[in-house]
Amino acid sequence: MAKIIVVTSGKGGVGKTTTSAAIGTGLALRGHKTVIIDFDVGLRNLDLIMGCERRVVYDFVNVIHSDATLAQALIKDKRLENLYVLAASQTRDKDALTQEGVEKVITELSASFEYIICDSPAGIEKGAHLAMYFADEAIVVTNPEVSSVRDSDRMLGLLASKSRRAEQGLEPIKEHLLLTRYSPERVTNGEMLGVEDVEEILAIRLLGVIPESKSVLKASNQGIPVILDEQSDAGQAYSDAVDRLLGKEVDHRFLDVKKPGFLQRLFGGRE
Amino acid sequence: MNLLEFFRERKKQTPAAIAKERLQIIVAHERGQRTAPDYLPALQQELVEVIRKYVNIDSDQVQVALENQGNYSILELNVTLPDR
Protein backbone atom coordinates (compact mmCIF):
# COMPACT_ATOMS: atom_id res chain seq x y z
CA MET A 1 0.00 0.00 0.00
CA ALA A 2 1.31 3.39 -0.96
CA LYS A 3 1.41 6.32 1.40
CA ILE A 4 -0.64 9.16 -0.02
CA ILE A 5 0.69 12.64 0.75
CA VAL A 6 -1.10 15.82 -0.29
CA VAL A 7 0.82 19.05 -0.73
CA THR A 8 -1.68 21.81 -0.06
CA SER A 9 -1.93 25.42 1.14
CA GLY A 10 -5.20 27.12 0.26
CA LYS A 11 -3.37 30.20 -0.97
CA GLY A 12 -1.74 30.22 -4.39
CA GLY A 13 1.87 30.96 -5.19
CA VAL A 14 3.33 29.77 -1.91
CA GLY A 15 5.33 26.89 -3.41
CA LYS A 16 3.08 23.83 -3.60
CA THR A 17 4.35 22.62 -6.96
CA THR A 18 7.98 23.41 -6.11
CA THR A 19 7.49 21.43 -2.90
CA SER A 20 5.71 18.50 -4.59
CA ALA A 21 8.54 18.24 -7.12
CA ALA A 22 11.24 18.51 -4.45
CA ILE A 23 9.69 16.10 -1.95
CA GLY A 24 8.76 13.56 -4.62
CA THR A 25 12.24 13.69 -6.10
CA GLY A 26 13.78 13.44 -2.63
CA LEU A 27 11.79 10.29 -1.85
CA ALA A 28 12.84 8.72 -5.17
CA LEU A 29 16.47 9.68 -4.48
CA ARG A 30 16.24 7.66 -1.28
CA GLY A 31 15.08 4.62 -3.22
CA HIS A 32 11.32 4.88 -2.78
CA LYS A 33 9.16 4.38 -5.85
CA THR A 34 7.23 7.62 -6.08
CA VAL A 35 4.62 9.19 -8.34
CA ILE A 36 3.69 12.88 -8.28
CA ILE A 37 0.17 13.71 -9.49
CA ASP A 38 -0.78 17.20 -10.66
CA PHE A 39 -4.37 17.92 -9.55
CA ASP A 40 -4.45 21.43 -11.03
CA VAL A 41 -6.74 20.67 -13.95
CA GLY A 42 -6.67 23.47 -16.52
CA LEU A 43 -3.49 25.00 -15.10
CA ARG A 44 -0.97 22.19 -15.41
CA ASN A 45 2.51 23.20 -14.20
CA LEU A 46 4.14 20.30 -12.44
CA ASP A 47 5.40 19.04 -15.81
CA LEU A 48 7.34 22.31 -16.31
CA ILE A 49 8.86 22.23 -12.84
CA MET A 50 9.87 18.59 -13.36
CA GLY A 51 11.20 19.33 -16.84
CA CYS A 52 9.01 16.81 -18.66
CA GLU A 53 6.52 19.17 -20.37
CA ARG A 54 7.39 17.96 -23.87
CA ARG A 55 6.77 14.35 -22.97
CA VAL A 56 3.15 14.69 -21.85
CA VAL A 57 0.99 12.62 -24.18
CA TYR A 58 -1.80 11.41 -21.92
CA ASP A 59 -2.88 12.97 -18.64
CA PHE A 60 -4.79 12.27 -15.42
CA VAL A 61 -8.21 12.97 -16.95
CA ASN A 62 -7.48 10.64 -19.92
CA VAL A 63 -6.86 7.86 -17.41
CA ILE A 64 -10.03 8.64 -15.45
CA HIS A 65 -12.06 8.51 -18.68
CA SER A 66 -10.24 5.32 -19.74
CA ASP A 67 -8.93 7.05 -22.88
CA ALA A 68 -5.48 5.88 -21.84
CA THR A 69 -4.02 3.37 -19.42
CA LEU A 70 -1.97 4.44 -16.43
CA ALA A 71 1.09 2.89 -18.02
CA GLN A 72 0.60 5.17 -21.04
CA ALA A 73 0.04 8.30 -18.98
CA LEU A 74 2.80 7.92 -16.39
CA ILE A 75 5.88 9.89 -17.38
CA LYS A 76 9.08 8.33 -16.17
CA ASP A 77 11.67 10.79 -14.90
CA LYS A 78 14.82 10.93 -17.03
CA ARG A 79 17.12 11.42 -14.06
CA LEU A 80 15.77 9.01 -11.48
CA GLU A 81 14.79 5.36 -11.74
CA ASN A 82 11.97 5.44 -9.16
CA LEU A 83 10.22 8.64 -10.12
CA TYR A 84 7.07 9.17 -12.20
CA VAL A 85 4.81 12.11 -12.99
CA LEU A 86 1.11 12.09 -13.84
CA ALA A 87 0.29 15.38 -15.57
CA ALA A 88 -2.92 17.35 -15.11
CA SER A 89 -5.24 17.82 -18.02
CA GLN A 90 -5.43 21.22 -19.69
CA THR A 91 -9.20 20.88 -20.19
CA ARG A 92 -11.44 23.75 -19.11
CA ASP A 93 -14.10 21.32 -17.95
CA LYS A 94 -14.39 21.92 -14.21
CA ASP A 95 -15.96 18.52 -13.61
CA ALA A 96 -13.20 16.56 -15.33
CA LEU A 97 -12.11 15.09 -11.99
CA THR A 98 -14.58 12.87 -10.16
CA GLN A 99 -14.18 11.26 -6.78
CA GLU A 100 -14.74 7.78 -8.24
CA GLY A 101 -12.23 8.46 -11.03
CA VAL A 102 -9.55 9.74 -8.65
CA GLU A 103 -10.15 6.80 -6.34
CA LYS A 104 -9.74 4.36 -9.22
CA VAL A 105 -6.41 5.89 -10.28
CA ILE A 106 -5.06 6.14 -6.73
CA THR A 107 -6.03 2.56 -5.96
CA GLU A 108 -4.27 1.36 -9.08
CA LEU A 109 -1.15 3.41 -8.30
CA SER A 110 -1.17 2.18 -4.68
CA ALA A 111 -0.48 -1.33 -5.85
CA SER A 112 2.91 -0.52 -7.38
CA PHE A 113 4.14 2.70 -5.72
CA GLU A 114 5.42 3.44 -2.23
CA TYR A 115 4.53 7.13 -2.24
CA ILE A 116 1.85 9.08 -4.07
CA ILE A 117 2.36 12.85 -3.87
CA CYS A 118 -0.78 14.84 -4.71
CA ASP A 119 0.06 18.37 -5.85
CA SER A 120 -3.06 20.34 -4.95
CA PRO A 121 -4.30 23.40 -6.81
CA ALA A 122 -4.85 26.62 -4.85
CA GLY A 123 -8.26 27.35 -3.42
CA ILE A 124 -10.80 25.04 -1.82
CA GLU A 125 -12.68 23.97 -4.95
CA LYS A 126 -13.08 20.48 -6.37
CA GLY A 127 -9.46 19.92 -7.46
CA ALA A 128 -8.12 20.89 -4.05
CA HIS A 129 -10.78 18.81 -2.32
CA LEU A 130 -9.99 15.68 -4.35
CA ALA A 131 -6.24 16.17 -3.94
CA MET A 132 -6.56 15.92 -0.17
CA TYR A 133 -9.54 13.58 0.09
CA PHE A 134 -7.63 10.27 0.02
CA ALA A 135 -4.52 11.53 1.83
CA ASP A 136 -2.78 9.79 4.72
CA GLU A 137 -0.50 12.74 5.38
CA ALA A 138 -0.59 16.41 4.44
CA ILE A 139 2.19 18.89 3.87
CA VAL A 140 0.73 22.34 4.44
CA VAL A 141 2.93 24.81 2.58
CA THR A 142 2.84 28.22 4.24
CA ASN A 143 4.63 31.53 3.70
CA PRO A 144 5.37 33.64 6.80
CA GLU A 145 2.70 36.12 5.82
CA VAL A 146 -0.82 36.78 7.15
CA SER A 147 -2.99 35.63 4.23
CA SER A 148 -1.04 32.43 3.74
CA VAL A 149 -1.17 31.50 7.44
CA ARG A 150 -4.90 32.16 7.61
CA ASP A 151 -5.56 30.06 4.50
CA SER A 152 -3.39 27.26 5.86
CA ASP A 153 -5.48 27.21 9.01
CA ARG A 154 -8.59 26.97 6.86
CA MET A 155 -7.06 24.02 4.99
CA LEU A 156 -6.26 22.32 8.29
CA GLY A 157 -9.93 22.61 9.18
CA LEU A 158 -10.91 20.99 5.89
CA LEU A 159 -8.33 18.20 6.28
CA ALA A 160 -9.86 17.41 9.66
CA SER A 161 -13.45 17.39 8.46
CA LYS A 162 -13.80 16.81 4.70
CA SER A 163 -11.29 14.05 4.00
CA ARG A 164 -11.94 10.34 3.63
CA ARG A 165 -10.21 9.67 6.94
CA ALA A 166 -12.45 12.21 8.68
CA GLU A 167 -15.63 10.95 7.04
CA GLN A 168 -14.92 7.31 7.83
CA GLY A 169 -13.79 8.04 11.38
CA LEU A 170 -10.29 6.70 10.72
CA GLU A 171 -7.09 7.98 12.27
CA PRO A 172 -6.81 11.64 11.22
CA ILE A 173 -4.49 12.84 8.44
CA LYS A 174 -0.98 13.47 9.76
CA GLU A 175 -0.32 17.17 9.21
CA HIS A 176 3.08 18.73 8.57
CA LEU A 177 3.95 22.41 8.34
CA LEU A 178 6.42 23.46 5.68
CA LEU A 179 7.35 27.11 5.93
CA THR A 180 8.67 28.42 2.63
CA ARG A 181 10.20 31.69 1.39
CA TYR A 182 11.61 32.26 4.86
CA SER A 183 13.94 35.19 5.33
CA PRO A 184 15.91 35.05 8.62
CA GLU A 185 17.11 38.64 8.11
CA ARG A 186 13.60 39.99 7.91
CA VAL A 187 12.50 37.90 10.91
CA THR A 188 15.40 39.31 12.96
CA ASN A 189 14.36 42.83 11.93
CA GLY A 190 10.81 42.16 13.11
CA GLU A 191 9.43 42.52 9.59
CA MET A 192 8.41 38.91 9.09
CA LEU A 193 6.62 36.29 11.18
CA GLY A 194 9.13 33.90 12.67
CA VAL A 195 8.94 30.12 12.54
CA GLU A 196 7.86 29.96 16.22
CA ASP A 197 5.06 32.45 15.54
CA VAL A 198 3.63 30.39 12.69
CA GLU A 199 4.05 27.15 14.65
CA GLU A 200 2.23 28.69 17.58
CA ILE A 201 -0.69 29.86 15.46
CA LEU A 202 -1.14 26.72 13.37
CA ALA A 203 -0.10 24.26 16.10
CA ILE A 204 1.10 21.46 13.82
CA ARG A 205 4.38 19.62 13.54
CA LEU A 206 7.13 21.51 11.70
CA LEU A 207 8.48 19.52 8.76
CA GLY A 208 10.91 22.12 7.52
CA VAL A 209 11.76 25.71 6.79
CA ILE A 210 12.80 26.54 3.23
CA PRO A 211 14.73 29.81 3.00
CA GLU A 212 13.90 32.38 0.35
CA SER A 213 16.44 31.48 -2.29
CA LYS A 214 17.46 32.40 -5.79
CA SER A 215 18.06 28.72 -6.45
CA VAL A 216 14.29 28.04 -6.58
CA LEU A 217 13.74 30.26 -9.63
CA LYS A 218 16.95 29.01 -11.17
CA ALA A 219 15.78 25.42 -10.79
CA SER A 220 12.29 26.04 -12.15
CA ASN A 221 13.73 27.93 -15.13
CA GLN A 222 15.64 24.78 -16.00
CA GLY A 223 12.97 22.23 -15.13
CA ILE A 224 15.10 20.64 -12.41
CA PRO A 225 13.56 20.03 -8.98
CA VAL A 226 15.47 22.31 -6.59
CA ILE A 227 16.34 19.39 -4.29
CA LEU A 228 18.76 18.19 -6.99
CA ASP A 229 20.74 21.42 -6.55
CA GLU A 230 22.68 20.05 -3.62
CA GLN A 231 24.77 23.20 -3.26
CA SER A 232 21.76 25.42 -2.69
CA ASP A 233 20.29 26.28 0.70
CA ALA A 234 16.74 25.55 -0.52
CA GLY A 235 17.82 22.19 -1.94
CA GLN A 236 19.47 21.21 1.34
CA ALA A 237 16.47 22.40 3.35
CA TYR A 238 14.15 20.26 1.20
CA SER A 239 16.50 17.32 1.62
CA ASP A 240 16.28 17.67 5.41
CA ALA A 241 12.49 17.87 5.15
CA VAL A 242 12.39 14.59 3.21
CA ASP A 243 14.52 12.93 5.90
CA ARG A 244 12.13 14.18 8.57
CA LEU A 245 9.17 12.93 6.55
CA LEU A 246 10.81 9.51 6.64
CA GLY A 247 11.09 9.73 10.41
CA LYS A 248 14.66 10.91 10.86
CA GLU A 249 15.55 13.50 13.48
CA VAL A 250 17.33 16.31 11.67
CA ASP A 251 18.16 19.71 13.16
CA HIS A 252 16.67 22.71 11.40
CA ARG A 253 19.13 24.75 9.38
CA PHE A 254 18.90 28.16 7.72
CA LEU A 255 16.88 29.69 10.56
CA ASP A 256 19.52 32.22 11.53
CA VAL A 257 21.00 35.14 9.69
CA LYS A 258 24.02 34.09 7.65
CA LYS A 259 27.13 35.95 8.70
CA PRO A 260 28.89 37.05 5.54
CA GLY A 261 32.32 35.54 5.14
CA PHE A 262 35.44 37.70 5.03
CA LEU A 263 35.72 37.68 1.23
CA GLN A 264 32.00 38.21 0.83
CA ARG A 265 32.17 41.24 3.09
CA LEU A 266 35.16 42.54 1.18
CA PHE A 267 33.65 42.18 -2.27
CA GLY A 268 29.96 42.35 -1.36
CA GLY A 269 29.19 39.17 -3.24
CA ARG A 270 25.74 37.67 -2.74
CA GLU A 271 24.59 34.12 -3.10
CA MET B 1 17.55 55.67 10.06
CA ASN B 2 19.01 58.16 12.52
CA LEU B 3 19.53 57.50 16.20
CA LEU B 4 16.33 59.21 17.29
CA GLU B 5 14.22 57.18 14.91
CA PHE B 6 15.97 54.04 16.07
CA PHE B 7 14.76 54.55 19.64
CA ARG B 8 11.29 55.55 18.51
CA GLU B 9 11.00 52.36 16.44
CA ARG B 10 11.87 50.25 19.45
CA LYS B 11 8.86 51.42 21.38
CA LYS B 12 6.43 50.55 18.62
CA GLN B 13 5.33 46.96 18.00
CA THR B 14 7.21 45.36 15.16
CA PRO B 15 5.20 44.62 11.99
CA ALA B 16 5.69 40.90 12.66
CA ALA B 17 4.22 41.23 16.16
CA ILE B 18 1.20 43.06 14.76
CA ALA B 19 0.78 40.32 12.14
CA LYS B 20 0.93 37.63 14.81
CA GLU B 21 -1.60 39.34 17.02
CA ARG B 22 -4.04 39.87 14.15
CA LEU B 23 -3.65 36.28 13.00
CA GLN B 24 -4.22 34.86 16.47
CA ILE B 25 -7.49 36.76 16.76
CA ILE B 26 -8.86 35.93 13.29
CA VAL B 27 -7.78 32.29 13.41
CA ALA B 28 -9.36 31.75 16.83
CA HIS B 29 -12.56 33.38 15.60
CA GLU B 30 -12.69 31.27 12.45
CA ARG B 31 -11.95 28.06 14.33
CA GLY B 32 -14.88 28.84 16.60
CA GLN B 33 -17.21 29.22 13.63
CA ARG B 34 -15.89 26.03 12.06
CA THR B 35 -16.91 23.88 15.00
CA ALA B 36 -20.25 25.62 15.49
CA PRO B 37 -23.25 23.43 14.68
CA ASP B 38 -25.29 24.22 11.56
CA TYR B 39 -28.41 25.14 13.52
CA LEU B 40 -26.78 28.09 15.29
CA PRO B 41 -27.77 30.84 12.78
CA ALA B 42 -31.40 29.61 12.69
CA LEU B 43 -31.47 29.41 16.49
CA GLN B 44 -30.17 32.96 16.70
CA GLN B 45 -32.81 34.19 14.25
CA GLU B 46 -35.67 32.57 16.17
CA LEU B 47 -34.40 33.87 19.50
CA VAL B 48 -34.34 37.37 18.06
CA GLU B 49 -37.94 36.99 16.95
CA VAL B 50 -39.07 35.79 20.38
CA ILE B 51 -37.33 38.65 22.17
CA ARG B 52 -38.76 41.12 19.68
CA LYS B 53 -42.26 40.20 20.82
CA TYR B 54 -41.46 41.90 24.09
CA VAL B 55 -38.59 44.29 23.47
CA ASN B 56 -37.70 46.19 20.34
CA ILE B 57 -34.15 45.10 19.45
CA ASP B 58 -32.03 44.77 16.33
CA SER B 59 -30.84 41.36 15.24
CA ASP B 60 -27.21 42.31 15.86
CA GLN B 61 -28.01 42.98 19.51
CA VAL B 62 -28.29 39.28 20.16
CA GLN B 63 -25.15 37.19 20.21
CA VAL B 64 -25.26 33.43 20.37
CA ALA B 65 -22.11 31.42 20.91
CA LEU B 66 -21.47 27.79 21.64
CA GLU B 67 -18.37 27.03 23.63
CA ASN B 68 -17.00 23.54 24.04
CA GLN B 69 -15.59 22.77 27.48
CA GLY B 70 -14.35 19.22 27.49
CA ASN B 71 -17.33 16.89 27.55
CA TYR B 72 -20.01 19.58 27.78
CA SER B 73 -20.90 22.73 25.83
CA ILE B 74 -22.10 26.10 26.98
CA LEU B 75 -24.66 27.97 24.93
CA GLU B 76 -24.03 31.63 25.63
CA LEU B 77 -26.78 34.11 24.84
CA ASN B 78 -25.98 37.79 25.05
CA VAL B 79 -28.81 40.27 24.54
CA THR B 80 -28.20 44.00 24.63
CA LEU B 81 -31.41 45.76 25.60
CA PRO B 82 -32.01 49.32 24.40
CA ASP B 83 -31.74 52.28 26.78
CA ARG B 84 -34.91 52.96 28.67
Question: Which pLDDT score, from 0 to 100, does residue A31 have?
Answer: 97
Query: Taking CB atoms and an 8 Å limit, are B14 and A191 in contact across chains?
Result: yes
pLDDT exceeds cutoff 90 at B72:
no
Angle at CA of residue A128, ends A71 and A111, nearest 5°: 30
Q: What is the pLDDT of residue A237?
A: 97
Comparing A3 with B45, the larger pLDDT belongs to A3
Overall pTM > 0.90: no
Distance from CA of B57 to the nearest CA of A (A): 34
Domains in chain A (CATH in brackets) are 3-268 (3.40.50.300)
Rounded to the nearest angstrom, the minimum Cα separation between A64 and chain B is 33
Within a 10 A sphere around the Cβ of A93, how many other Cβ atoms? 10
Is A15 labelled as part of a ligand binding site?
Answer: yes
Antiparallel, parallel or unpaired: β A115-119 and A83-86:
unpaired
Domains with residue ranges and CATH for chain B: 15-80 (3.30.1070.10)
Flag if A191 and B23 touch (Cβ within 8 Å). Answer: no
Yes or no, beta carbons of B16 and A146 under 8 Å apart: no
pLDDT, averaged across chain A: 95
What number is the ipTM of this complex? 0.85
Find the helix packing angle between A16-29 and A214-222, rounded to 10°: 80
- Mean pLDDT across the stretch A41-69? 96
Q: Residue A11: its chain B contacts at CB < 8 A?
A: none
Q: How many CB atoms lie within 10 A of CB B4?
A: 8
Q: How far apart are CA A178 and CA A136, in angstroms?
A: 17
Task: Using an 8 Å CB-CB cutoff, list chain B residues near A154.
Answer: 30
A113-157 pLDDT, tens digit per residue, is 999 999 999 999 999 999 999 999 999 999 999 999 999 999 999
Average pLDDT in the A80-101 region?
93
Give the C-alpha distances (Å, rounded to integers) separating B18 from B21, B44, B65: 5, 33, 27
Q: Output the pLDDT for position A271.
A: 47
A218 is in an annotated binding site: no
Q: Is A16 annotated as a binding-site member?
A: yes
Chain B residues whose CB is inside 8 A of the A192 CB are 16
